[in-house]
Structure 1
């Protein structure tokens, strides 16, 4: 589904875009196969498993019984490199998506509010992690009312995850209780925040002492 920004770009948008440009870890279109990966939803991140490249980990289920999943494509380049414009990905704040997007982009940036690297989506919405979740194995504990306040970053099965300044081996996905596929970074499920109304907002940082902007390896940004 094509999504749009819920507000006009902030005055810092140009600066953030410039920061994104300097943070890119891009591979050319001709070498996407070499710098990307195909994985089954629920595979452990490469840095956290001793399995051989040909082995498939059992899907990590958040209440679905570990059913088989379509492959997720993690591409080590940006959506722009693939000829996509900035209208895909996930939206800002609590704006609903009637269907998960076919692709998302994770970009590592810094900002005036948070000078350490943290992730944003294609629409410059800050992405977060939750201390009550699990990273090994990956599992979300934010469902129902929690997921309304903290919308998970979801993607269509078989969709592409484009990256800017993020190591492909850190990116994965899990299946949620509602059957949707949620993107993980460093094993941690990632979310937006309903209290962020425009690009660049970081109103969820440190909220309840459990929610933090997520760094490019899944770490708490600013810690």
Structure 2
């Protein structure tokens, strides 16, 4: 069973909300090669499709260091691995930034973890930096399509990933994970078909400052549902 530890409160700051990871049953070591899947990247108006099962976490970790194809070079594959980055021997963030920081280059790998928190008891997703992830009601899940571009995407940065990269999971079914190519060529992760974002106004673990904004932005659950309870 795997749990995600929260970071301690900053000195002199308000106490951070507790973020408690939901339990994750990992595949047995003997069957790791059957965990996860390979997905192809759809364009902004078509969903991604699944292909063959992903390799073991150690093999997937190795593949994350390979050179990715140039953006816009056509459909490419991502590996979705049904275990955590730590289980694959990785540390750090994969290149994921926090808060309002600009994501200059797509991360080499991304982790999606299902958690509950003091302010939201429903299971919702966070990234490796423990930043809450969101979905947008103006987007569509079938087909997967993002309607957040330009200034919207500055306020609500898409959860992007390098082509050929790995998506690690904790408490998320690999079948729910997909990817689309945005109009600018970036690859955005989807969950349950819904494009996923973080909020520039969240800077600390447990922040959910984007919840309910404009009546259209909500924390995203492990199957792409709105997490509102």
**1:213/1:81 Cα in 2 relative to 1: closer, same or farther (>3 Å)?**
same
What is the RMSD of the two structures over their aligned residues, measured on CA atoms?
A: 2.2
Residues 48, 179 of structure 2: 8 Å contact kept = no
Deviation sequence 1:84-119 (CA, Å, 0-9, x none): 113325222121122101100000000011010000
The 1-side partners of 2:224 and 2:93 are apart by 25
Is structure 2 residue 35 aligned with structure 1 residue 35? yes
The 1-side partners of 2:203 and 2:106 are apart by 20
What is aligned with 2:200?
Answer: 194
What is aligned with 2:100?
Answer: 94
What is aligned with 1:79?
Answer: 85
The 1-side partners of 2:150 and 2:185 are apart by 13
Give 3-state SS (helix, strand or coil) of 1:95's partner. Answer: coil
Where in structure 2 are there 5+ consecutive unaligned residues? 1-6, 10-14, 53-71
Residues 89, 122 of structure 1: 8 Å contact kept = no
Residues 39, 77 of structure 2: 8 Å contact kept = yes
Residues 92, 199 of structure 1: 8 Å contact kept = no
Where in structure 1 are there 5+ consecutive unaligned residues? 1-7, 55-65
Deviation sequence 1:141-190 (CA, Å, 0-9, x none): 00000000000000000100000000000000000011000000000000
Give 3-state SS (helix, strand or coil) of 1:110's partner. Answer: strand
Shift of 1:9: 4.5
May I ask how many residue pairs the two structures share in their alignment? 196
* TM value normalised by structure 2: 0.79
Shift of 1:28: 4.8
Give 3-state SS (helix, strand or coil) of 1:32's partner. Answer: helix
Shift of 1:121: 0.1
**1:80/1:73 Cα in 2 relative to 1: closer, same or farther (>3 Å)?**
same
Q: Which has the higher contact order (CA 8 A, sep 6+)?
A: 1
Residues 25, 77 of structure 1: 8 Å contact kept = no
What is aligned with 1:112?
Answer: 118
Deviation sequence 1:20-47 (CA, Å, 0-9, x none): 2x4224235653320110111127477x
Residues 108, 165 of structure 1: 8 Å contact kept = yes
Residues 25, 76 of structure 1: 8 Å contact kept = no
Residues 69, 157 of structure 1: 8 Å contact kept = no
2:216 to 194, 210, 214: 210
